[in-house]
Chains A and B, each alone.
Chain A
């Protein structure tokens, strides 16, 4: 664990100093090998990280020099790096923390495919192994390894700068970073196939990453995303029954919710909302916070939830947001009002292939006693559902409908 945390910091700095991912990994490896040999003999240096960085830099320049014997174009680079060593040493201190942020922005650069961004971030920033990432995304290890190699080559070929983006680019670039973090989180949160432990780890990894980014870059949307993840995470124990069945929000045993995570999430939402620069993650977190603070489904402030959905829909329109809003309206005004909204949404053809739209419609029809309509919608949802626990849940609901 110490190796993992330290090695990521050292790597982040070496990439800046050496200007190349692969060379930096090589240099870091050499530095750790040297540490294993020297520290037991000579004692651990006063500042181990600084020792690893300077040893790594030395090894990296050395590697370049060796390669330069075969490739003259590298001579100049090696010389420049050596010259740079002197003046870089002075401003080293403050840059170390920034290096981790640089690494995050580089791994999440929009020139890379989204899957590659997530894979690279998990490996280079979080220190997961290729095999762990492959398992989490239900891919083969060679596929994942190839993706990572290509992403690094792309960074080199496209000369993607190793920097925190300038202020004017920051909102868009931060979006891309937050999307990766949320993608990692949802991969871990959705109870689908695959070894469940590894996937829970993935959510924890995303939360850790969110904390790190917040520490380095306290932007409101970073608070919003971390809050959203914590508030979702707080319900994890209540989301599945002991036998592994899915339990819907309204039916969850709220005493199982993690109060500590809720308190932290709610505080973050309040900070983010107070900034008056409110983005989609903060709004979703605000909705999750209303749920988290309600003693029961019926005692939930549905009016406030609908209000947040209105803001979300106005600023970031999406059919999924409309669907969720319709479900909230159904809770506030009754199933008929919600059903009218969902039918309008389906009539537009936007969510015809989305199983949750049909599942929501089925549920409202069931509550209205429209059994035949409910049956048709459950059947449609079952034909579209991908996750096993969700399938079992829909099957159960369908079989419980009155004959």
Chain B
């Protein structure tokens, strides 16, 4: 299964807003504590309105929680938000 990581932070302006998604899960690490919140990065109590979509990374993971493990290792997880979505493979 492939997953896309939509990486948000405050430093760069967005090219476009992320579409609304029920399949989204947002990962953040603050003070060494990992959290995973249902829904896109721009929604929910932990959303930071100043965050903008920064880059998209495609990762390979065994399942959604394994994708959380990979996302939590990305540096931006420490200060930004990483939104995970499943990617439909063409075919």
Contacts and interface: CB of A to CB of B under 8 A. Distances in A.
Contacts of A25: 66, 69
Nearest to B72: A22
Interface string B24-39: 1100000011111111
Given A131-B64, A141-B23, A29 B36 contact: no
Q: How large is the interface on A (under 10, 10 to 19, 20 to 34, 35 or more residues)?
A: 20 to 34
Interface in A1-54: 22, 25-26, 29
Find the residue from A22, A26, A71, A145 having the highest chain B CB count within 10 A.
A145
Interface stretch (A146-154, A225-233, A337-345): A146-154
A140 interface: yes
Interface in A144-177: 144-146, 148-150, 153
**Which of A142, A148, A150 has most B Cβ within 10 Å?**
A142
Contacts of B86: 141
B69 A145 contact: no
A contacts with B: majority SS: helix
A130 B33 contact: no
A153 B1 contact: no
B50 interface: no
B13 interface: no
B34 A153 contact: yes
Residue of B22, B36, B39, B72 with most chain A CB atoms under a 10 A cut-off: B36
B24 to A, nearest CB: 6
Interface in B44-64: 62-64
Contacts of A149: 34-36, 65, 68
B32 A144 contact: no
Query: Is the contact region of chain B dominated by helix, strand, or loop, or is it mixed?
Result: mixed
A129 B63 contact: yes
A140 B35 contact: no
Contacts of B33: 153
B34 A141 contact: no
A22 B62 contact: no
B69 A130 contact: no
Interface string B2-45: 00000000000000000000111100000011111111000000
B44 to A, nearest CB: 11
Given A145-B25, A149-B36, A29 B63 contact: no
Contacts of A131: 1, 63-64
Interface of A: 22, 25-26, 29, 71, 123, 129-132, 140-146, 148-150, 153
Interface of B: 1, 22-25, 32-39, 62-66, 68-69, 72-73, 86
Given A130-B66, A142-B64, 13 more contacts: A29-B69, A130-B64, A130-B65, A131-B64, A141-B25, A141-B86, A142-B23, A142-B36, A142-B39, A145-B36, A145-B64, A150-B36, A153-B33
